[in-house]
A and B are shown apart, each in its own frame.
Chain A
C-alpha cells in the first residue's frame, strides 16, 4: 500500500516550457487535490476533483490545468511555465469532502 505517490520529485523548467505532474493513490479515494506550498504562506488549493471525470477550481487555478481520467490518478499541467510557479506542489487524496486528506511526498519545481 503505497498511499499517495507523485512524479517527478524535482524538476527544473525554463520559462514557457510545459510539463505534467502525476499523482497516483491506491486507497480508492474519491477526492483528490493539488496544492502549492510557498515560503511563509499556507498551502493553497489549485484544483481538486470529487470523482473520476470531474475537476473544479480552487483558490489559485490560473496557469494550471488538471485531468482525472482514472479514479486513482490526478494530473496537474502547466502549459507555459512562469517563474511565479516555482513552488513545492503537493497532491492529496481523501475518501470524502469532510474527511482527512492524505498527502504525497511533493514535487519541487523551479522555473528559471
Chain B
C-alpha cells in the first residue's frame, strides 16, 4: 500500500527553527510537494522536490532523499503567522498526489 507519515503535532518558539519530517512509501515517485494550510482555509503550495537535495525559498527550505523515502521542511526565523498545518504529498506513478495527514505546527511567543 501507499503511505505517507509525518508527525501529528509540533511546537516551536517564535524566532527559532523547526524541521518537519515526512517519510513515504508509494508506487512510483514523480515528485514531493509541501503545502501550508491555515485552519479553515485552503492548502497553499510551498515547495516541490523531484531530485535529491535541498531547495531553498526564503525562510523555507525542503530536502529530499529518494533512496531513503524521506523529506523534510525546514522553517527558519519562525513567525506567529507560521502557525498552521503542513501537508506532505507525493505524486505517484499515476501522477496522483498521495497526502499525509499533516503536521500541526504551534508557535509560542
Contact = CB atoms under 8 A, between A and B. Distances in A.
Interface of A: 4, 40-45, 48, 58-59, 90, 97-98, 100-106
A42 B43 contact: no
B81 to A, nearest CB: 18
B85 to A, nearest CB: 10
Contact size class for B? 20 to 34
Contacts of B105: none
B97 A98 contact: no
Contacts of B42: 4, 90, 103-106
A58 B48 CA distance: 22
B42 to A, nearest CB: 4
B41 A45 contact: no
A41 B97 CA distance: 14
Contact of B41 (A48, A98, A105): A105
A98 B95 CA distance: 6
B101 A44 contact: no
Contacts of A100: 33, 45, 48
B107 to A, nearest CB: 21
A42 B4 contact: yes
Residue among A43, A48, A100 having the largest count of chain B Cβ atoms under 10 Å? A43
